[in-house]
Amino acid sequence: MSSKKNPKHSPSAKNPPYQYDAVVIGTGPGGEGVAMQLSKAGKKVAVVERHESVGGGCTHWGTIPSKALRHSVSRLIEYNSNPLFNDTYQTHSLTFKQILKHASGVIRKQANLRGSFYERNRVTTINAEASFIDANTLRLKHPDGSEDTITTEKVAIATGSRPYTPDDIDFTHPRIYNSDTILSLNHEPKTVIVYGAGVIGCEYASIFRGMGIKVDLVNMRDRLLSFLDAEVSDSLSYHFWNNGVVIRNTESYASVEGREDCVILNLESGKRMRADCLLFANGRTGNTDMLNLDAIGLKADSRGQLKVNHNYQTSVPNVYAVGDVIGYPSLASAAYNQGRFAAEAMLQGECHDSLVEDIPTGIYTIPEISSVGKTEQELTQMKVPYEVGRAQFKHLARAQIARTLVGHLKILFHRETKQILGIHCFGERASEIVHIGQAIMQQKGDANTIDYFVNNTFNYPTMAEAYRVAALNGLNRIFE
């Protein structure tokens, strides 16, 4: 997008005290949510984006690219495993550069689409890096090195996050990557070490293994994605193991050696690992260090994150913050709503909305994982008398037709009231399937019971039918 500069403002009796009602720093989902809501309310809004085009990390380095890569690899796996298309028993392959072409096209379309939203809603876009001079004045440093200032009544910080990169690892080495720079991978590795088995690490482990690359996944914890229902976590671990991913639990690095022809990872346990490249995916840091927060008396924590109240307001009354920069839940979908809620607080002085209590997780491994509500472990600890209904995908006609046989749906419900307490799904399209259960969980009273799935008529054959199968399976477990 073209760079737009703003001349210094000289307040006078005829002019308003500020150039803008609000300036939003960052154009990811959170920043977009703030800007769109304020603009539709008739406010004069500007967004400042330090990168060439809008969309933030979500569009350019995080959510969109990794999910586009995953989709391409998933289709490659499907093609190779389906005798209808491949009856020669010869495995087809794609290079990382080839699958990046698809991702690049999606990124470009998304950036253009998001840019059109700002234009259509008459939001001024400024290509610059912003920092505070005071609570109502921002310094703008443009790509050409020039600087100017902008004044505003309110500010929303939506600068997102970046991969955590410890100082003792040389990320300038051509074989050492983080989850942003991995998109610039320009050689074809045969072996990869993924350090960090969180959501990003597991997703990329799936992508690389799906391309036929040998993967070592180093996990600092004793199980993968320990926040998930244990049965789902175990399913992912088994699926990785069954597909040749080597998982090393309860390990941490001592040092990383970048060599000309390989990378050596030395572990605290004394083990040494070697691969063609290393992807370090151990946490993220909020993008606040460039904002000159000291100028307004704000201080980020050790992870670069800001504290906000229920209105998404920082300790500086006219400065708000949303998205990854405030921490949990660090989801693109949640960030957009946070932006809308912050805008409501800016407009009315108080936000009357909040994120839903049960936020769904969507993890784009191969196969996908998605869940909403309580896990079995949480319900057991809470001493809630629950029961379980399960449906194996391999028993569904639609899964048999599509040859997506791996996976299951699990419904947790109160054995006395039949209220739905949790939905957990592992398998292809899990992040879509979970929303059916989520919709019923959000209903009030008797509408939120497992009986809905028994009494409702589902299209046949569909993956949604798993809810009816799981509900009947669960109800069969109840006795007087």
Residues at the binding site are 49-58
How many CB atoms neighbour CB 20 within 10 A? 24
Q: How far is CA 311 from CA 24, 40, 344, in A?
A: 16, 19, 8
- Annotated binding-site positions for FAD: 49-58
SS3 of the chain: helix, strand, coil, percent, to 5: 35, 25, 40
How far is Cα 389 from Cα 262, in angstroms, rounded to an integer? 48
Strand partners, 127: 49
Query: How many residues in total does the chain contain?
Result: 480
Six-digit token string for 70: 């995953």
What are the φ/ψ torsions at residue 203 (nearest 5 degrees)?
A: -65, -45
Separation CA 276–CA 48 (nearest Å): 39
Alpha-carbon span 199 to 391, nearest angstrom: 25
Strands (E), 186-252: 191-195, 214-218, 246-248
Q: Where are any strands of DSSP class E within 135-282? A: 137-141, 147-157, 161-163, 176-178, 191-195, 214-218, 246-248, 253-258, 263-267, 272-275, 277-280
